[in-house]
Amino acid sequence: MKRLRALLMVCILCLVSVCLYGSAAAVPTEPLVSGDYQYAFRDDGTVIITRYIGSAGDVAIPSELKGTPVTAIGPNAFDNCSTLFFAEIPEGITSIGDYAFRFCKSLEEINLPDSLQELGKNPFIGCEALEIIEISPDHPVVYKDDHVLFSRPDQRLVSYSPLRDRGPYEVPDGTTIIGANAFYQCKNLTELKLPDTITSIGQKAFMFCDNLKSINLPESISYVGAGAFIHCIGLHSLVFPDTITAIGDNAFEDCTNLKEVVLPQDTVSIGDKAFYKCSSLQTLELPEGITAIGKNTFALCKDLVSIILPDGVTYIGNGAFLDCEKLEEIEIPMTVNYIGSYAFSGCSKLKEIDLPNTCFYIGPYAFSKCSSLEEFRIPMILNAISEHAFEGCAGLTELTITPRVAFIGDYAFAACVGLTVISIPETVTSVGDNAFGYCSQLQTVELPEELEYVNPTAFENCPNLIDPPDLSRYEAQ
């Protein structure tokens, strides 16, 4: 018995210590501060500057803080230091983190010491006044070529100066990577030629290159990074090499003048918002390997008239074709089983759509405001019609609700002013708030006798109902 009590006491003490330790670990610690710098200790006992909190215009970054060597400048450490126009980085700094001097818009001059061993993603993104980056000619890690900064170890183009003269640029042969945000907001860039040695284009590499009108994508590239060409409004057409297999999220978002895109047959993935707001894109044929249309992939492509989806597509994501105002027809493959929220919402010229019986889900607002849609047949496998799914389909005159449907959501067919007759099958057990509200031409409604619940407002503001159903028995539910 004594041994049992002792063992129990040990367990209690262990539990208490774990709770106390966990509680202490959860308490946030204040950053270490020395003068104008917040800092932290690295694993080797040296210091990394995590944040500059001063407001000086001319800054000599210290080589020591409280007697400890400074060896690194952390990511975003000088972010948005609007008064900074000159920075001197001391010898001993071995690492400069991602976007370290981001949006230092007054920065004119800086140096990179010979001790530097590692340079993160474009440290000078948004430094629109930066004219001088002082680097020794035999620097082992970085070099400049015609106002363009490169990293030697990975042959990466790190940063292209926005002050470079307006015109074309040819990336030197041997360069393998266009780094993340490397050409950010380079409005003077009009044409770009990439060598066959390029294997990767980083995220947001050409973001806001408003005047970029032409770029070649070599066959050495297999992937276009996320946000690579956001707001490149000068691009009118783009032909991808056959080697491209994937296009990242937001890759061509807001390329408002992009009219023609030819995708290679080996492309198997197109990311969310990849062509979002490409408002001049008119037609597109997707390769056979595509199985999913992501979130907002073609949303607000207001000039899109037709698009061909390949057999094998199973998933059409949220807002995939949101507000594609000129889309008149689209053939949904027999393999599609999921249509997300707002997928076709606002496609005001879409007259007909035929969903396969394999489709088991139609999300909220999926076809809302498809005001020209005239006829719709609910897929046989569907057991619920989501809220607002067909709200505002003013042209819908014929609707077939299949006998597997059990639930009709709130406002599912609200303001479908062309409907005159509704027959609800025996399988339906619930009809939601304003499910058929504001159907001003609705005359006849057939409800099953065993219907468990109908919201009293299900047929609100349907003035032409000849024999309105008695819903009084549901009011207390």
Amino acid 3: pLDDT:
46
Amino acid 26: pLDDT:
43
pLDDT in tens, 408-466: 999 999 999 999 999 999 999 999 999 999 999 999 999 988 889 999 999 999 999 99
pLDDT in tens, 14-63: 443 444 344 334 445 788 999 999 999 999 999 999 999 999 999 999 99
pLDDT over 60 (residue 336): yes
In sequence order, the 6+-apart residues with CB closer than 8 A to the CB of 131 are: 108, 109, 163
pLDDT over 80 (residue 391): yes
CA distance 272 to 274: 5
Query: Which ranges of 220-320 does DSSP label H, i.e. alpha helix?
Result: none
Give, as one character, the DSSP assignment of residue 412.
Answer: T
The answer to whether residues 424 and 401 touch, using CB atoms and an 8 Å cutoff, is yes
Amino acid 9: pLDDT:
47
Confidence band of 2 (pLDDT split at 50, 70, 90): very low
pLDDT in tens, 343-364: 999 999 999 899 999 999 999 9
Neighbours of 473 (CB within 10 A): 11
Query: Which ranges of 150-265 does DSSP label H, i.e. alpha helix?
Result: none
pLDDT in tens, 319-332: 999 999 999 989 99
Q: What is the CA radius of gyration of the chain?
A: 30
The answer to whether residues 273 and 250 touch, using CB atoms and an 8 Å cutoff, is yes
Task: Report the chain's mean pLDDT, rounded to a whole number.
Answer: 92
> Between β-strands 68-73 and 58-60, what pairing exists: parallel, antiparallel or unpaired?
unpaired
Element of type H or E holding 421: strand 421-423
Amino acid 377: pLDDT:
86
Is the alpha carbon torsion for 359, 361, 366, 367 positive or negative?
A: positive
Amino acid 253: pLDDT:
98
CA atoms within 13 A on the CB side of 401: 24
Amino acid 473: pLDDT:
74
In sequence order, the 6+-apart residues with CB closer than 8 A to the CB of 221 are: 194, 198, 199, 200, 201, 241, 243, 244
- Tokens for 13, please give them: 């003490």
From the list 225, 229, 227, the residue with the least C-alpha distance to 238 is: 229
| Cut 0.85: pTM above it | yes
Q: Is 193 helix (H, G, I), strand (E, B) or coil?
A: strand
Confidence band of 192 (pLDDT split at 50, 70, 90): very high
**Residue bearing the bigger pLDDT, 212 or 451:** 212
CA 215 from chain centre, in angstroms, equals: 23
The proportion of the chain whose per-residue pLDDT surpasses 70, expressed as a percent, equals: 94
Domains of the chain: 32-134 (3.80.10.10)
How large is the average pLDDT for residues 200-225? 95
Amino acid 476: pLDDT:
57
CA 206 from chain centre, in angstroms, equals: 16
Amino acid 23: pLDDT:
39
CA distance 50 to 474: 63
pLDDT over 80 (residue 5): no
pLDDT in tens, 129-151: 999 999 999 999 999 999 999 99
In sequence order, the 6+-apart residues with CB closer than 8 A to the CB of 476 are: none
Neighbours of 164 (CB within 10 A): 14
Confidence band of 4 (pLDDT split at 50, 70, 90): very low
How large is the average pLDDT for residues 215-222? 94
- Looking up tokens 């937001």, which residue turns up? 250
Amino acid 25: pLDDT:
42
Give strand ranges (E) for 17-67.
32-34, 37-41, 47-52, 58-60, 64-65
How large is the average pLDDT for residues 358-385? 95
Amino acid 34: pLDDT:
97
Confidence band of 11 (pLDDT split at 50, 70, 90): very low
CA distance 107 to 82: 8
For residue 384, what are the CA distances in angstroms to 173, 362, 410, 417? 58, 8, 11, 22
The answer to whether residues 288 and 311 touch, using CB atoms and an 8 Å cutoff, is yes
Amino acid 362: pLDDT:
97
Neighbours of 27 (CB within 10 A): 6
